[in-house]
């Protein structure tokens, strides 16, 4: 097993920079997810780690060794892609053993490894099938099996679940996580889906436009987003964001442009007199008979919880209640804000000001 380090890594396609100096330190055995909107450079970064793309600047290390110019086959990595590209004319067993055959592994050893991987992935009974005889989830498992048999230092995944339907995606998420808990192989996993990142990762790297916005555990990012981008990207329904300023007379009141006053429990030093953004997650708006009146715009019962959009002053706020709500659109609900969970950001830089 091996850790992975990116130090000031850069990549340009022609004159166009797409990775603009990325530093990431991945410990041996860690499950790290690179997440960010489409086009932010996730696949490019992963492909540089795999050796499929040249590095324009900086250094990438695997197991302490600089791999910048090392060919892919010498990096001891195995990659699983979105389009798992199984060989249609080969059985599951042959697909999984193919790379071992190419590397001229002894037959008995290859069989042992394929059996082991098939056992872990629940493919034992499907070894003689062809890819067309498998479901999407089974094909995805074969693609993972191909990676497992190689027993690499590092697993790389690029959006491996994107082609699966929603239900299967949830099931495979748990399978991949369990697989990592068993094998404990260092894993770098790319996705644009923040829920996938939150549910699976030991550590998340949020990327945006070729730079790293924040690195942390899923709950670090959720509870203390470093800036507006991370605050808005992580969490679903998304964080509410309201522009305004602290009341200089009483900085525990945040004044929206329409005059609505919202509570702040710990006004950060230096926040008075600046343009701010008030960040409020939907679950920290609570039903409260003595609270502020809001008008229901949309109500969405999910069974488990109630999602709704509430017009409070001039702002449409997204709310999530554990309770069921019987009122309908146009009616009034009274709500209170849990001020201890409010985030304040500097409107200009986007930087988090609350600690």
Burial 165-178 (b: 16+ CB within 10 A, else e): eeebbeebbebbee
- Say if residues 289 and 260 touch (Cβ distance below 8 Å): no
Look-up of token digits 């008008």: 295
**Least distance from C-beta 212 to ligand ADP, angstroms?**
13
Taking CB within 5 to 8 Å according to partner kind, which of ligand ADP, Mg ion, none is near residue 306?
Answer: none
Peptide bond into 191 cis (omega under 30): no
Enter the tokens of residue 141.
């498992």
- Say if residues 168 and 137 touch (Cβ distance below 8 Å): yes
- Judged by CB under 6 A, does residue 15 bind ligand ADP? no
| 189 vs 278 by CB, closer to Mg ion | 189
- Judged by CB under 6 A, does residue 353 bind ligand ADP? no
Residues touching ligand ADP: how many (CB under 6 A)? Answer: 10
Q: Identify which range of 13-21, 39-47, 324-332, 335-343 contacts Mg ion by CB under 5 A.
A: 39-47
Q: Strand 31-35 vs strand 186-191: parallel, antiparallel, or unpaired? A: parallel
Enter the tokens of residue 297.
């715009």
Residue window 248-277: x/- pattern of binding to ligand ADP, with contact defined by CB under 6 A: ------------------------------
**Least distance from C-beta 19 to ligand ADP, angstroms?**
8
Closest CA relative to residue 84, chosen from 163, 180, 193, 190: 163
Name residue 77's beta-bridge partners.
154
- As separate numbers, helices (DSSP H) first and strands (DSSP E) second, the chain gives 8, 19
| 190 vs 242 by CB, closer to ligand ADP | 190
In the list 5, 12, 17, 18, the residue contacting ligand ADP (rule: CB under 6 A) is: 18
Q: Shortest Cβ contact with Mg ion: which residue? A: 43
- Judged by CB under 6 A, does residue 42 bind ligand ADP? yes
**Least distance from C-beta 41 to ligand ADP, angstroms?**
4
- Measured CA to CA, the distance from residue 265 to residue 339 in angstroms comes to 5
**Least distance from C-beta 42 to Mg ion, angstroms?**
5
Q: Identify which range of 43-51, 58-66, 137-145, 228-236 contacts Mg ion by CB under 5 A.
A: 43-51
List, in order, residues 6 or more apart from 23 with CB less than 8 Å away.
6, 7, 8, 9, 212
- Judged by CB under 6 A, does residue 44 bind ligand ADP? yes
| 13 vs 87 by CB, closer to Mg ion | 13
Three-class SS string for 232-262? HHCCCCCCEEEEEEEECCEEEEEECCCCCEE
In the list 43, 95, 194, 318, the residue contacting Mg ion (rule: CB under 5 A) is: 43
- Judged by CB under 5 A, does residue 191 bind Mg ion? no
Q: Identify which range of 32-40, 170-178, 211-219, 260-268 contacts ligand ADP by CB under 6 A.
A: 32-40
Q: Identify which range of 37-45, 169-177, 215-223, 328-336 contacts ligand ADP by CB under 6 A.
A: 37-45
In the list 22, 33, 43, 118, the residue contacting ligand ADP (rule: CB under 6 A) is: 43
- Judged by CB under 6 A, does residue 147 bind ligand ADP? no
- Judged by CB under 5 A, does residue 82 bind Mg ion? no
Q: Is the dihedral of CA 273, 276, 281, 282 positive or negative?
A: positive
146 burial level (CB within 10 Å; 0-12, 13-18, 19+)? buried
**Rule CB under 6 A: which residues touch ligand ADP?**
13, 18, 36, 38-44
């Amino acid at each position: 097993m091996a850790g992975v380090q990116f130090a000031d890594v850069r990549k340009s396609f022609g004159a166009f920079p797409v990775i603009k100096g990325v530093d990431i330190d991945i410990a041996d055995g860690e499950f790290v997810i690179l997440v960010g909107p489409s086009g932010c450079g996730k696949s490019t970064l992963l492909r540089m780690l795999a050796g499929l793309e040249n590095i324009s600047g900086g250094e990438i290390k695997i197991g302490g060794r600089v791999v910048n110019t090392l060919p892919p086959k010498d990096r001891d990595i195995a990659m699983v892609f979105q389009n798992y590209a199984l060989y249609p004319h080969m059985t599951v067993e042959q697909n999984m053993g193919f790379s071992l055959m190419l590397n001229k592994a002894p037959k008995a050893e290859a069989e042992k490894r394929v059996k082991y991987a098939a056992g872990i992935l629940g493919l034992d009974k499907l070894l003689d099938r062809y890819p067309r005889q498998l479901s999407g989830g089974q094909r995805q498992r074969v693609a993972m099996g191909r990676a497992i048999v190689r027993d690499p230092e590092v697993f790389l995944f690029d959006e491996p679940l994107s082609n699966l339907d929603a239900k299967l995606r949830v099931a495979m998420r748990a399978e991949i996580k369990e697989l990592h808990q068993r094998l404990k192989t260092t894993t770098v996993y790319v996705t644009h889906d923040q829920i996938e990142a939150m549910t699976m990762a030991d550590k998340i790297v949020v990327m945006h436009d070729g730079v790293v916005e924040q690195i942390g555990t899923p709950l670090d990012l959720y509870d203390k987003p470093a800036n507006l981008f991370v605050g808005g990207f992580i969490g679903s329904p998304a964080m509410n964001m309201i522009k305004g300023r602290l009341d200089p007379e009483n900085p525990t009141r945040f004044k929206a442009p329409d005059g609505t006053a919202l509570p702040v429990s710990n006004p950060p030093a230096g926040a008075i007199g600046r343009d701010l953004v008030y960040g409020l997650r939907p679950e920290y708006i609570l039903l409260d008979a003595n609270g502020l009146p809001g008008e229901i715009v949309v109500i969405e019962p999910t069974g488990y919880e109630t999602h709704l959009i509430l017009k409070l002053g001039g702002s449409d706020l997204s709310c999530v209640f554990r309770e069921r709500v019987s009122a309908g659109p146009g009616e009034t609900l009274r709500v209170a804000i849990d001020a201890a969970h409010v985030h304040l950001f500097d409107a200009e830089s986007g930087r988090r000001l609350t600690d």
